[in-house]
Amino acid sequence: MRVIEVLNPTAEVRAPQIPLAPRVSDLRGKTIGFLNNRKANAGLLLESLQACLRHRWGEFAVVVGEKNAAMAAPEAVLTRLSQCDAVVTAIGD
């Protein structure tokens, strides 16, 4: 009789658990960053979301950054976005 060995291809999690950033409860008067990865429709999604957020919350300042989809954001973009109260990023395809 043959024995079938079943293997589990999953690995243990090695990355440290990092807590989520605290949520911003009100956007009025805040600075919100929008990071576009330049894939198709990512910019359109961010523009639409920005309009929806303004409709819901009113006025807020905006910082826009862009990055290559396959790479980390440039240091200059990260520096600008680090001044924001919250940042939204989109991955479009």
Does residue 41 sit within a domain?
Answer: yes
Query: Does 55 fall in a domain?
Result: yes
Domain contains 37:
yes
Residue tagged 């396959």 (tokens): 70
Does residue 84 lie within any of the structural domains?
no
Task: Give the number of domains in the chain.
Answer: 1
Asked, for residue 33, whether it belongs to a domain, the answer is: yes
Q: Provide the sign of the torsion angle of the four alpha carbons 54, 59, 60, 64, taken in this order.
A: positive
Query: Of the candidates 65, 61, 58, 55, which has an alpha carbon nearest to the alpha carbon of residue 30?
Result: 61
In a domain, 80, yes or no: no
Tens of pLDDT along the chain (93 residues) come to: 899 999 998 988 887 888 888 888 999 999 999 999 999 889 999 999 999 999 999 999 999 999 998 899 999 999 999 999 999 998 766
In a domain, 62, yes or no: yes
59 burial level (CB within 10 Å; 0-12, 13-18, 19+): exposed
Q: What is the pLDDT of residue 92?
A: 63
Predicted model pTM: 0.76
**61 lies in which domain range?**
28-68
